Amino acid sequence: MERESNATAAAPAAAALFAWGANSYGQLGLGHKEDVLLPQQLSDFCNPGCVKSITGGGAHSAVVTDEGSLFVCGLNKDGQLGLGHTEDVLYFTPCKSLLGCPIQQVACGWDFTIILTENGQVLSCGSNSFGQLGIPHGPRRCVVPQAIELLREKVVSIAAGLRHALAATASGTVFQWGTGLASSGRRLCPGQTLPLFLTAKEPSRVTGLENSQAVCVLAGSDHSASLTDAGELFVWGSNKHGQLASQAAFLPVPQKIEAHCFQNEKVAAVWNGWTHLVAQTETGKVFTWGRADYGQLGRTLESHEDWKPKKQDPSLRCSRPSKSTPSSLHCLMGATEVSCGSEHNLAVIDEKNEAKRRA
């Protein structure tokens, strides 16, 4: 009996999906609209062990399986679920219009969704009030995913912000569309002509990255970022909360965060919240910077005074220890997976790496 008991204890647990938190529109996929304080297991809409990725937007959620199937639920007033209607959906439901079209990645914006297929094509659905669908003469909303025809090159990475979106192509070119950053850009850069990619309602090449090759793009609520194959991180847009590691209030074109901000190491991976960023270097160090008033940086700031970006001298970057300075979190050294919500984070630490860190 003792041997059997030990064997049972050592057996790996079956995979399961859990959801919790705000649920006003059924975005947890639990079949109701009540907020959930404790994690609840989702019904088996798919094999949990085959889930490739989970992502969420303003109030809608998406799951992509290993086979490339897309399941969606939550708020759908603008057709952001791509199901052909505008009724909220309380359970994870397959996006039938994409059956037979394997999905690689999904990026959920506030009220729209960007979809990347395995063959590198990009589709979009939901609100198009700010041109965030990349369909310049399209309707104000699309309830079925539509191909962004102007992205003719194979795409390898997509991102969706509050009212803008990005894509990186196989050749390393970055495109942006949606006017979400334009209003703050005009207000904070008076007298300047903003680059086209900040005001375009169709994919427009991001200038300033011509000498680099992007492998990944990210979008916050009002800023953008791009990671290159050389381990360099470029950022642009609003810097209201120090999320661009700069003293400038707004960066209209991409600027590289200098290597010394990451202890002279290359950046291997980066994740994005609404107003903060998390990066991991080639040796496994994890850095955080940006908005900190909800504890989303995972560290206590040395200075608690209000941090205000300046309109002048944007070259002053990482000049002082503050929320605008990337700072490493030793407890997350060697994290195998990190995910950012709008104002919070989750990380997975491998037990072996944890033992080495404590040694």
pLDDT, residue 292, reads 93
Residue type, 118: E
pLDDT above 60 (res 131): yes
Rg (CA), the chain: 21
Strand order across the 112-117 sheet: 103-108, 112-117, 122-127, 141-147
CA gap 224, 260 in Å, rounded: 21
What does pTM read for this prediction?
0.89
> CB-hemisphere CA count at 13 Å for 134?
32
CA gap 57, 111 in Å, rounded: 7
Averaged over 105-113, what is the pLDDT?
Answer: 98
Cβ atoms of 108 and 93 within 8 Å: the answer is no
Mean pLDDT computed over every residue of the chain: 90
CA gap 237, 341 in Å, rounded: 19
Averaged over 83-101, what is the pLDDT?
Answer: 96
Q: Which of 7-16, 170-179, 220-229, 329-338 is least confident?
A: 7-16
| CATH topology assigned to domain 152-359 | Methylamine Dehydrogenase; Chain H (2.130.10)
pLDDT above 70 (res 322): no
CB atoms within 10 A of CB 310: 12
Residue type, 220: G
CA distances from residue 327 to 107, 120, 129, 155, 245 in whole angstroms, order as listed? 27, 35, 37, 32, 11
Categorize the per-residue pLDDT at 149 as very low, low, confident or very high, splitting at 50, 70 and 90: very high
- For residue 304, what are its two tokens? 């608690």
Domain boundaries, the chain: 23-149, 152-359
CA gap 334, 313 in Å, rounded: 35
Categorize the per-residue pLDDT at 11 as very low, low, confident or very high, splitting at 50, 70 and 90: very low
CA gap 197, 201 in Å, rounded: 9
pLDDT, residue 301, reads 72
